[in-house]
Amino acid sequence: MNKSIIAGATGLVGTELVKALEAKDDPVVVLARRPMPGLSANTKWMKTDFDDLVAGASLPSCDHVYICLGTTMKKAGSKDAFWKVDFEYSLAVAKRAREAGATTLSLVSSVGANAVSKNFYLHTKGALENAITALDFPTVNIYRPSMLLGNRAEKRPLEALGIILFRAIGPLLVGSLQKYRGIEAELLASAMVQNTSNTRIPKGINHFYFKEISGS
């Protein structure tokens, strides 16, 4: 039985990851600043100050780590604050998990992620991908979804409009444009959990887009 750590467990994808892993009855540690209600007996909350992880604090022994930390520029308030959450905190979790024995890392990134992009969001995601793949994980699974669909606890009016739009135009995005289709967070989380234990997924660096995530 494999033990997993989830960073970003209170977010849209992280919440679904917790459900998917609990359905397998796998032991899970969720990293969060505040307690998460309704967790199963096999899921433990670890009170986490991510600045401490950046400084070198340790994580418990684990086999897998799922990183789906993320904020918005509006919530962060500045590029520096956004970078701290999406890059520094995520990379710190990866480093500490590797030190704790994790051999597989699953990262929620973004379609278009590119460290040399002039778009700050895509630059940040790409820089994080590069930094994580430079670590010595035997297997790194990088997921590059477009718009994430689902019901967030946090209300984002503009994103809600975007979800309606992406659901409407999704079927029109075919061929090379298929990777820009919106994808349900529940489906993404399910694919992440399945791929972690799928022996057909090769070791090394793997990228997953809409087609690979949805199985279509």
Whole-structure pTM value: 0.91
Q: For residue 191, give the nearest of 45, 32, 66 by alpha carbon.
A: 66
Q: If DSSP states are collapsed to H, E and C, what string results for the chain? A: CCCEEEECCCCHHHHHHHHHHHHCCCCEEEEECCCCCCCCCCEEEEECCHHHHHHCCCCCCCCEEEECCCCCHHHHCCHHHHHHHHHHHHHHHHHHHHHCCCCEEEEECCCCCCCCCCCHHHHHHHHHHHHHHCCCCCEEEEECCCCEECCCCCCCHHHHHHHHHHHHHHHHCCHHHHHHCCEEHHHHHHHHHHHHCCCCCCCEEEEECHHHHHCC
Looking at residue 183, which CATH number applies to its domain?
A: 3.40.50.720
Q: What is the pLDDT of residue 123?
A: 98
pLDDT tens series, the chain, 216 aa: 689 999 999 999 999 999 999 999 999 999 999 999 999 999 999 999 999 999 999 999 999 999 999 998 888 999 999 999 999 999 999 999 999 999 999 999 999 999 999 999 999 999 999 999 999 999 999 999 998 887 765 655 555 556 556 565 656 566 777 787 889 999 999 999 999 989 899 999 999 999 999 886
Domain range spanning residue 46? 4-214
Question: How many independent structural domains does the chain possess?
Answer: 1
